[in-house]
Amino acid sequence: MADEPSTGGLHAHTRAIRAGRADNQNALAPILWATSTFTADSVSEARDLAVDTHSTRFYTRYGNPTVKAFEEVVADLEGTESARAFASGMGALSVIVLGLCSSGDHIVAQRQLYGGTQMLLQTVCPRFGIGVTFVDGTEPGAFAEAVIPGRTVLVIAESPANPKLDVIDLAEVGAIAGPMTVVDSTFATPLAQRPAEYGVDLVVHSATKAIAGHNDATIGVVAGSEELLAWLWSYAVLHGAAASPFDALNALRGVRTLAVRLRQQTDTATALVAALEGHPAVEAVYYPGLESHPQHELAAKQMELAGGLATFELRGGYEAGRLFMEEVRVVQFATSLGGPESLVTHPASTTHVSLLPAELEAICIGPGTVRFSAGLEHTDDVVADVIGALDRVEEIVPSADR
């Protein structure tokens, strides 16, 4: 936290090492508070704890010291007054939507979104009478134009966004007056961009990904003003998507190495996209750090690092994508990102297999779209593995034949 001694004026990379230790007594490493409840000395103390909107010693669904320590690190890194952690990124997003919107309200969201967020907005919101308008988040002014004065409660953006790493103008989202603005900043992490600096009200992370960073925790977090988070908390306590102290401990462990991991993953992704551009099996490469990326200048302006994610489209379509997943050896085939293992996913044959081509196109997924997440293996091994797999795909289904 900002009020912690000896951390003022330091870089975020340095603060990430020691933040969240306000309640750590003299233990160097974060303490695991593996308890579901806490004893009280008196009725008046229990009453005070029960109504405290950032309580840590009443009942773990209300709050927990290990979880609060993680919340304090994220608030510190994002530069916000406060943060609240949840059972997952989707736990955080569903609490925002269901905690802040009522029947008759309206949401503006971008079309390019994480699949779970998209499903929440498309299938759950209508059941509760909450209207949603989807816009192309990369089109200047699209969010603001879709706002219905007096009805729109939330504007939801994601940047960089699934699946082609579209970059959304944070200043434009932050400047929208009226509705509360939300940015899912999972792909960037707080070390690459800080949406709150642009006036965005709530910053969401699936900390399951790069923040915890070891593929051993499922946890989400929302950063913003204490007033807004206290309001959100009053619903969240009833929703029950509380973060587990064990996962918060793993996230606290992870965040201390986020800076070095993010730098290494950015280096690997940068080397890979350079090798991909011009490969005969590859139709297009999407990476915010590439000059060919449609929002490259915006990314350079608002992101300190382009990150470890890259997306590419194979010329051979569905069959090439399917083959590629089975040809990689160092890189593994799993759904997630930001961890030590380099991973690839092929949405058209896995997560989005039930969608028709037109439906896939509407959410910017092509038949040969592959998403790559850099891990921490040696850069040369990762690049050689991906290029080797593409060479074999090209031998089996030569793009010249199509």
Q: Which residues bind ligand PLP (CB under 6 A)?
A: 88-90, 114, 116-117, 158, 162, 184, 186-187, 206, 208-209, 218, 220
Q: How much is the CA Rg of the chain, to the nearest whole Å?
A: 21
Q: How far is the CB of 311 from ligand PLP (least distance, A)?
A: 13
Region at 104 (left for phi over 0; alpha for psi -120 to 50; beta for the rest): left
**SS3 label, residue 395:** helix
Q: How far is the CB of 336 from ligand PLP (least distance, A)?
A: 7
Q: How far is the CB of 240 from ligand PLP (least distance, A)?
A: 15
Task: Give the residue closest to ligand PLP by C-beta.
Answer: 89
Residue 286's closest CA among 348, 365, 380, 360?
365
Q: How many CA atoms lie within 13 A of 19 on its CB side?
A: 30
Q: Which is nearer to ligand PLP, 78 or 158 (CB)?
A: 158
132-164 burial, b for 16+ CB within 10 Å, e for fewer? bbbbebbeeebbbebbeeeebbbbbbbbbbbbb
- Give, rounded to a whole angstrom, the gap between the first and last alpha carbons of the chain: 57
Q: Which is nearer to ligand PLP, 165 or 360 (CB)?
A: 165
Q: How far is the CB of 344 from ligand PLP (least distance, A)?
A: 15
88-108 burial, b for 16+ CB within 10 Å, e for fewer? bbbbbbbbbbbebbeeebbbb
Q: How far is the CB of 97 from ligand PLP (least distance, A)?
A: 13
Q: Which is nearer to ligand PLP, 64 or 159 (CB)?
A: 159
Q: Which is nearer to ligand PLP, 242 or 389 (CB)?
A: 242
Q: Which is nearer to ligand PLP, 55 or 265 (CB)?
A: 265
Q: Which is nearer to ligand PLP, 187 or 318 (CB)?
A: 187
Q: Which is nearer to ligand PLP, 204 or 382 (CB)?
A: 204
* Dist. CA 281–CA 273, nearest whole Å: 13
Q: How far is the CB of 157 from ligand PLP (least distance, A)?
A: 11
* Dist. CA 256–CA 24, nearest whole Å: 16
211-247 burial, b for 16+ CB within 10 Å, e for fewer? bbbbbebbbbbbbbebebbeebbeebbebebbbbbeb
Q: Contact 262/339 with Cβ under 8 angstroms?
A: no
Residue 116's closest CA among 90, 86, 87?
90
Q: How far is the CB of 43 from ligand PLP (least distance, A)?
A: 38
Q: Which is nearer to ligand PLP, 219 or 383 (CB)?
A: 219
The single residue listed with the structure tokens 């750590």 is 24
Q: How far is the CB of 268 from ligand PLP (least distance, A)?
A: 19
